[in-house]
Amino acid sequence: MNVSFQPYPATLVAIESLHNDVRVFTFDHQQAMTVQPGQFAEIILPGIGGFPVSACGYVTAGTFQACIRRAGRVTSALFRCTIGDCVGVRGPFGNGFHLPDLARKDVLLIAGGLGIAPIRALLQSVVGGAARSVTLFYGARRAAELLFLPELEALAERGSLCLRLAVEEPLEAICSPQRWHSGPVTDLVDALPSSTATLLVAVCGPPQMYAVLLEKLATTGITAAHIFATLERRMRCGVGECGHCVAGGHYVCTEGPVFSLAQLRQMPGAIA
């Protein structure tokens, strides 16, 4: 584990705006480190502050890509940066997703809101792999807030991904009812096939989503050890020293942020 507080220098090499307050930033850090799906790094603007952020995908060795919402002081400062600016990066931190052997398994990914960021990284790593099928349930309040839609739809057109989208606004007639649903993303779980023994599930979304969703998944018969969720907490150090990220007696930064439902059940208070 890297407990040095010394950041790697990194250059901002690409910025893509996805929505008003959400952009994809690509940083070139030239280090031999890769932030795996579900892991995170700290982006530091020297003299201003730092914040933890998940990898949202893989570009090339020596780069880190993150999908970031302008949420407060430091993220706002990042939004004022332009290509060529220098920042600091620390990491990688956390365990990342470790799905068991995917052969003859069906992978179900569920994302709510900005939770799509780490789920997209995981999706990139499982699509075209050993899994029998890959499904994504993705929800947002409004259709305009769904991120990465063109690339997700392209994957679906090619048959690599079964895509279901949920928005909490009335749908217009043009939407295809097989793909679109009006209501919370948790509703989509009701339509799961009756045989769920082969399913591996990974979930990322806002805290309120977990309370309903995870146990609902378990009632469909998926074993709790095959349901994975990534927890968000306030994080400062990323290395199990600063105490901020603790949930249910565990350090989310080092033992997580990905936990199975079986683990979460042993962590009182971890899911609200």
Partner 1 sequence: MRFLNLDETTRPRIFALLSAVCDTLTADRADDGTVCWHPALSWPESDVRLTTVPLKTMLVPHREIVWSEQPSVDVRHPRALLGVPVCDLAAIAQLDRVFAADPFWQRQRHNLFLVGASCLSDAECFCSPWSGLPPCDLFAEAGRLWLVSPRAEELFARYDLPGGESADGPVLPLGHAVQKQDSPFVQSVPEADLLDLVAARCLGCGVCSAVCPTCHCFDLRDSVDDVGDVSRLRVWDSCQFVGHGRVAGGHNFRPRQQDRLHCRLEHKLQGFGPDHEEALCVGCGRCARSCPAGLGLRQILASARQARQ
Ligand X SMILES: Cc1cc2nc3c(=O)[nH]c(=O)nc-3n(C[C@H](O)[C@H](O)[C@H](O)COP(=O)(O)OP(=O)(O)OC[C@H]3O[C@@H](n4cnc5c(N)ncnc54)[C@H](O)[C@@H]3O)c2cc1C
The contact mask relative to partner 1 for 63-102 (x = CB under 8 A, - = no) is --------xx--x---------------------------
The partner in contact with residue 53, picked from partner 1, ligand X, ligand FES, none with C-beta cut-offs of 5 to 8 angstroms by kind, is: ligand X
Q: Which is nearer to partner 1, 14 or 77 (CB)?
A: 77
Angle ∠(83,88,94) on CA atoms, nearest 5? 120
CB 116 within 8 A of CB 138: yes
Element (H, E) at 65: strand 63-69
Task: Select from 266, 116, 110 the least CA-distant residue to 190.
Answer: 110
Which residue of this chain has its Cβ atom nearest to ligand FES in the complex?
253
How many residues can be counted in the chain? 272
Which positions from 120 through 139 interact with ligand X, judged by CB under 6 A?
Answer: none
Q: Is 219 in the site for partner 1 (CB under 8 A)?
A: no
Q: Total number of residues binding ligand FES (CB under 6 A)?
A: 12
The partner in contact with residue 67, picked from ligand X, partner 1, ligand FES, none with C-beta cut-offs of 5 to 8 angstroms by kind, is: ligand X
Among the residues of the chain, which ranges form H helices? Answer: 73-79, 116-126, 149-157, 207-219, 252-255, 261-264
Q: Which is nearer to ligand X, 114 or 218 (CB)?
A: 114
**For residue 26, how many C-alpha atoms fall within 13 Å in the half-sphere facing its CB?**
12
- Per CB under 8 A, residues contacting partner 1 are 1, 3-7, 44-51, 71-72, 75, 206-207, 232-234, 236-237, 239-244, 246-247, 249-251, 255, 269
